Homo-oligomer: A and B are copies of this chain.
Amino acid sequence: MQETFKKWVEIPTRWIDMDPMGHVNSATYHTYFEIARMEYFDTVGLHALKVPGKLGPAVVSQSCNYRRQIFHPAHLRVGIRCTEIRNRTWGLEYAILVNGEPTPYADGSTVMAWVDYEQAKAVPLPEPLRESMRAYEEKAL
């Protein structure tokens, strides 16, 4: 698991992440993915390529597999990587490790698009973004 992802993001849980069932709410896992995604975007320089209100990233679809319940307090490490780059979209994958245990408590994936917000349609990814994700992942994506 440690080698599958180059980028790991540390997240302490919050008590309020839990719902009335007494475990972390299922929607909150998507927030954990978002926290990791934002830091990944920072790492690959995506934020600098955005044109506020005009061009930037959008979530096309996202899924999560819940393998074990998470209880607060826990120290999470969320692995994130880019798995595929297409013309207007790219794919991300995640795994959530809990308190140093080796087996993920959850994993998931996102399809992202590069979007012209005004026209509400996907447009080709900026070349520097492709390059920086390929360079970061050290792979021909």
CB interface residues, A 11-54, toward B, < 8 Å = 11-12, 14-16, 18-20, 22, 25-28, 30-31, 34-35, 38
Interface SS majority for chain A = mixed
The answer to whether A59 has its CB under 8 Å from any CB of chain B is yes
Measured in the bound complex, the distance between the Cα atoms of B26 and A85 in whole Å is 21
Interface size (A, Cβ < 8 Å)? 30
Protomer copies? 4
Distance from A102 Cβ to chain B, minimum over Cβ atoms (Å): 17
- Rank and list the top 10 A-B pairs by shortest CB-CB distance, nearest first: A63-B63, A27-B30, A26-B59, A18-B20, A61-B65, A27-B31, A15-B38, A27-B27, A20-B22, A59-B66
Which A positions have Cβ atoms within 8 angstroms of B? 11-12, 14-16, 18-20, 22, 25-28, 30-31, 34-35, 38, 58-66, 68-69, 120
